[in-house]
Amino acid sequence: MTYIMRSISFGLITLIFLLQACNNPEENTVEKPIISVSILPQKYFIEQLAGNEFVVNVLLPPGNSPASYDPTPRQLRNLSKSELYLKIGHLGFELAWMESIKKNHKDLKIIDLSAGIDLIQGDEEVDGHEEDKPGKRHVHDHGGIDPHIWMSPKSAVILAENTANAIIRFDPVCQDLIRQNLAVFIEKINALDQDLEAISKKLKNKKFIIFHPALTYLARDYGLEQIPMEFEGKEPSAAYMKQLIDLAKAENISRVFIQKEFDQAKAQQITKDLNAKLIQIDPLAEDWEGQMRELIQAFKK
Give the whole-angstrom CA distance, residue 266 versus residue 262. Answer: 10
Q: Residue 62's closest CA among 294, 293, 287, 292?
A: 287
pLDDT tens digits for range 252-279: 888 889 888 787 777 787 788 877 888 9
Give the least confident one: 49-58, 135-144, 158-167, 214-223. Answer: 135-144
DSSP state of 172: G
Q: Please report, for the chain, how many H helices and E strands are present, in that order.
A: 10, 8
Average pLDDT, the chain: 83
Are 147 and 66 a contacting pair, CB within 8 Å?
A: yes
Q: What is the pLDDT of residue 200?
A: 94
Is 0.95 surpassed by the pTM of this model? no
Asked if pLDDT for residue 142 goes beyond 60, the answer is: no
Average pLDDT over residues 98-108: 90
CA-to-CA dists, residue 9 to 1, 27, 246, angstroms: 12, 19, 75
Element (H, E) at 201: helix 175-202
CA dihedral in degrees (225, 163, 44, 64; nearest 10)? -60
Q: What is the pLDDT of residue 87?
A: 97
* Main-chain phi, psi angles of 225, to 5 degrees: -125, 120
Q: What is the pLDDT of residue 30?
A: 56
- CA 163 vs. chain centroid, Å, equals 12
pLDDT tens digits for range 186-237: 999 999 999 999 999 999 889 999 988 999 999 999 999 999 988 667 777 8
Amino acid identity, position 21:
A
